[in-house]
A and B are shown apart, each in its own frame.
Chain A
Amino acid sequence: MSAQQVDAALIAPVVALAVAAVVVLLADLVAPGRRNLCAGLAVAGLVVTGALIPSAARDLPAARGTFCAPGSSAVAGCSLVVDRFSVVLWSVALFGALIVALLSWSASLASPQPAAVGEYYALLLASTAGVLSLAASRDLLTLLVSLELVTLPVVVLVAVRGWATSAEGAVKLFLVSTLGLGISVFGAAVVLGATGHVHLARISRAVAQPDWPTGRLSALTVGLVLLLVAFGIKVALVPLHIWAPETYTGAPIPIAGYLAVVSKLAGVAGILLVLVVGFAPLASRWAPLLAVVAAVTMTVANLVALRQREAIGLLAWSSIAQAGWVVAPLAAAGWDSEAARRASVVYLVCYAAMTLATFTAVTLVGRARTTVGGGLALSDFHGLARTEPLTAGLLVFALACLAGLPPGLVGLFAKLAAFSPVVGGGQVWLAVIMALNVALALAYYLRWAAMVFARPEGGVEPISFRLSIPDGVAVGLTLTAIVVLSAAPTLVFHLVG
């Protein structure tokens, strides 16, 4: 394979999304402010991109690479690799972006205003293209550039409503992300200096050499930790989570969902790639750090979430806590790094399905309730089961999944998958902390679910609304996802391999 040859099928999904973004912008230029046109084009772009995945994945389970450095025979020297990992993350990211696009379709106070609708969808597609590119990239530079492509459009999307809270959230996200990227670039430079490679597979081969001087190994570890900062910010791991609550509450609700699922997925993908593909031989050095971060993240976030009285704030903290669960299996990477990565991805896939379902229900309720600059209180959900049984059912089922209680079996099996390597790797202390966190989280999920069934308080009418067609499709898709995965949890394990 010569270095200049590019496998078009492999980059087709990323390119298709970028093209779709441009098409949406052009359409908005020709016919300004046409909501249905822009949203329709964006949804079509996402669907077409999804349809391109099978041809990119035609060699599975064997991996295929492109943009390869000269002289490399296998995928180890390639910057872009399509394997099972990339394909799973691509599918989840596209599904998430599709739900977000559908939920933004109907006009309301919470949706982008007519003048901004073209930019809104173009930026959404551009950011998603960044996620796709990140999940397939296998060198430090592509990873970091893709990460920036994920972040910058989201900053604008957060601010799109133009409220004071939105601007505050967007600025916070922008500052923290930029600072994080700077630190990570520095970390990448240290890693490059210590190993002489940017390709993860080559770094892995280099650090596996036994004859490293201790000083250089320490420098490399410091470089690795710095490198992870930008990704940790995307995942919102404590203490890199400080931007999350305000940004979530400031953003339009679908964009908060995007931050919680798609953009978080990009961060997890980066962490998994760097650690498991690049630094697995050093697992004994970084796994304890990940264990502590996971334990602190879920405990702190759950304790704060217990005090939340506002729906989006609660979801922000709950998604931070869930991020702790996603990285917890990596604590056992010293035992079996592949099993740890698989467990992480399984949890991530399940988390995406149940969080998207929650955000779908919350968006519908929020749209009916939101006033300019106002939040969505948990008490706004009082009596929802009486007026909107379908949305209420979706929300309660999704909350049961997040809590990991039957009937939400998808969440329960995700937790099982996360526990397995941790217990198998002998980190029983972490498993006990995780177990206690299940109970903490249950308290607030259950309280919310109970509100849905409660009688409305003192003369306040429960919310009722009409579902538009895109809303109905979003409800149908997310409900199907969590019901099917709960009925046949083995599907996720099969998908992840």
Chain B
Amino acid sequence: MTTTVTSQLGPSGLHSASQLWLLAALALPALGALLLLVTPAGWWQRWSSRVQPVTVAVGISTVTLAVTVLGTALGRPLSLSWVPSLGISFGVRSDALSGPLVVLTAAITWLCLVHLVRVRPVAGRPRALAGLILLVQTGLMGVFLATDLMQFFVFFEVALVPLWFMVAVWGSDVEETTPDGHQLITTAHRAATQFVCYTVVGSTLMLVGLLLVGLRAGTFDMALLTQRAANGWGLSTSTQLAALALIGTGLAIKVPIWPLHAWLPAAHTAAPTVGSVLLAAVMLKTGTYGLLRIAVPILPEAMVRVAPYLAGLAVAGIVIAALACLRQTDLKRMIAYGSVGHMGFVVLGISTLTPVGLTGAMLANIAHGIITGLLFFLVGALKDRYHTSALADLPRGLYGRLPRLGVLLAFAAFASLGLPGLAGFWGELFTLMGAYHPASVGSHTLPQGLFHVYLGVAVVGLVLTAAYLLRMVRQVVQGPSSGHPRHDSASTAGWVGELSGHELLVFAPLAVAALVLGLAPQLLTWLVSPWAQHLLEGVR
């Protein structure tokens, strides 16, 4: 693997057309967003009375998806000088680590926009929402494709403001019943601001850490920094520890790692369906991607020292999130909280610092993106029909009422709890295998006994996860289909039809992907495991 890495070092410039694929995948959504957001409303009415803006967005997104798939398969890395006086370059690169995430981003965005064609947001204009989705896509793809630490940071920030608007303008207020019976209302505006402030504190601390790495090492090029660390002449241990404390805090807020997760439930619950899908399925991955791309290969010595604590926070998050889920009264909020637990598995996998653990983390990353995306879409479909996502107000017996929706919801729940044969299983299995044999390299052997305790706690977390998901299935999907006081009366009954063909078009690809990855995990593992070894070269 070292040879492929060496060929990517330094601003290489543009000398073949195949380098443009990935750049195009990044530029297309940006231009699309500009087209949708900046053109005046009158323009659309006058010139394109037949073409809906959202349809245009779907078109752009379709081309982007195709270009992204081709680009990850065929595209060659590109690196250009950006701000030479600060030593910052701009590049795009897709490898086994970023490739699957880039394709996931493009695919989820495409599904969100297709969803938007028929399922209109409750408040706000669909055109601006479509533009914001494309803008978020630009930011997320930029994070995964970046070759330079500063470029990574800039794109990390790009998605923030559009997501704020998405939650604040198109979102809905969150009602929450506290254990002692009080009603707590978090406005969408507040949830959005909370999310952005949390993230910005984290990302600016991360910026300081990235600057520390870049200025001490004399380069911001990630491939070069990785190679130096792998060859054993990376940064001094104290610098690495300071940098990891700063970068790690920023990434931990994004993932989120317990106890820095407080922004997540409100933001994911308040967001419109497409916003929740983008937040959970893709945006959280920028945090774990940062751990895999920066913390492990560039700051290996610090990572070895911090790993036991990180793993501790991860398993604490798994159990606490599952316990919190058991108490949730709102379906959407429950799934949002569930993300904290699933991301805990990803972080646990990374903290083992073993090839199998890292492979598990990458698998769990992708699986969570697919399954939670599907779950949020399905909750959105329920919300469109019953105008609530409170467990108490949703009618029982979806199997009988709306069999397709019920089956899909049960399927997604089983996938989420890690049923063998579905995508969620493999990532968690590999993670637990990694925790059974944590890295034992050189002078810094990870404490095996401690990791066995973590393993036990994580298994308890798995059982609790199964418990809350099965409770949800029993409450919503199973049971008699008749006799619900609120929703059978004619006055409150809105449109409660079965899943439309259009909705199936959006949901089915995710369900199929969850099944395929569950049956044939080698589709990803053959790609990912060599890279997991490569990432760990610096850990010695």
Taking Cβ atoms with an 8 Å cutoff, the residues of A that contact B are 389, 400, 405-407, 409, 412-413, 415-417, 419-420, 423-424, 428, 431-432, 434-436, 438-439, 442-443, 446-447, 450, 453, 489-490, 493-494
Contact = CB atoms under 8 A, between A and B. Distances in A.
B189 interface: yes
Contacts of B453: none
A419 B242 CA distance: 16
Contacts of B161: 400, 405-406, 446
Most buried by B among A409, A413, A416: A416
Given A417-B86, A446-B193, A412 B204 contact: no
A420 B246 contact: no
Nearest to B139: A406
Interface string B150-165: 1000100110110011
Contact of B201 (A420, A436, A447, A489): A436
Nearest to A386: B41
B40 interface: yes
Given A412-B154, A413-B86, 16 more contacts: A405-B157, A416-B86, A419-B207, A420-B211, A423-B208, A423-B212, A428-B212, A431-B211, A432-B208, A432-B246, A435-B208, A438-B200, A442-B197, A443-B197, A446-B164, A447-B193
B205 interface: yes
Nearest to A421: B215
Contacts of A406: 139, 154, 157-158, 160-161
A439 B207 contact: no
The 7 closest A-B pairs by CB, nearest first: A435-B204, A493-B85, A439-B201, A423-B211, A431-B208, A438-B204, A406-B158
Given A406-B161, A446-B164, A490 B85 contact: yes
Interface in B196-210: 196-197, 200-201, 204-205, 207-208
A463 B328 CA distance: 45
A435 B212 contact: no
B497 interface: no
A98 B350 CA distance: 56
Contact of A413 (B83, B84, B196): B83
Contacts of B208: 419, 423, 428, 431-432, 434-435
Interface residues of B, number: 33
B82 interface: yes
A490 B82 contact: yes
B169 interface: yes
Given A435-B201, A435-B207, A450-B189, A494 B196 contact: no
Interface of B is mostly: helix
B140 to A, nearest CB: 13
Contact of B150 (A407, A416, A436): A416
Contact of B197 (A420, A432, A439): A439
Contacts of A413: 83, 86
Contacts of B84: 490
A494 B85 CA distance: 8
A412 B210 CA distance: 14
14 contacts: A406-B139, A406-B154, A420-B215, A424-B215, A428-B212, A432-B208, A435-B204, A435-B207, A436-B201, A438-B204, A442-B200, A447-B193, A453-B165, A490-B82
Contacts of A423: 208, 211-212, 215
Nearest to A425: B215
A43 B207 CA distance: 42
A493 B86 contact: yes
Contacts of B215: 420, 423-424
Given A446-B193, A493-B83, A439 B204 contact: yes
B363 to A, nearest CB: 31
Contacts of B212: 423, 428
B168 interface: yes
A436 B253 CA distance: 14
Contacts of A409: 154
Nearest to A443: B197
Contacts of B211: 416, 419-420, 423-424, 431
A453 B158 CA distance: 19
A167 to B, nearest CB: 39
Nearest to B250: A435
Contacts of A489: 83
Interface in B78-116: 82-86, 88
A331 to B, nearest CB: 14
A490 B83 contact: yes
A494 B86 CA distance: 11
A328 to B, nearest CB: 12
B168 A450 contact: yes
Contacts of B85: 490, 493-494
B8 to A, nearest CB: 23
B243 to A, nearest CB: 10
Interface in B207-222: 207-208, 211-212, 215
A389 B128 CA distance: 14
Nearest to B201: A439
A145 to B, nearest CB: 35
A423 B86 CA distance: 13
Given A405-B160, A409-B154, A432 B205 contact: yes
A482 to B, nearest CB: 16
A434 B84 CA distance: 24
Contacts of A420: 86, 211, 215
A25 B458 CA distance: 81
Nearest to B202: A439
A400 B165 CA distance: 13
Contacts of A435: 201, 204-205, 207-208
B83 A428 contact: no
B164 A453 contact: no
A489 B154 CA distance: 13
Contacts of A432: 205, 208, 246
Nearest to A409: B154
A443 to B, nearest CB: 6
Nearest to B164: A446
Contact of A442 (B88, B154, B196, B207): B196
A336 to B, nearest CB: 11
B204 A436 contact: yes
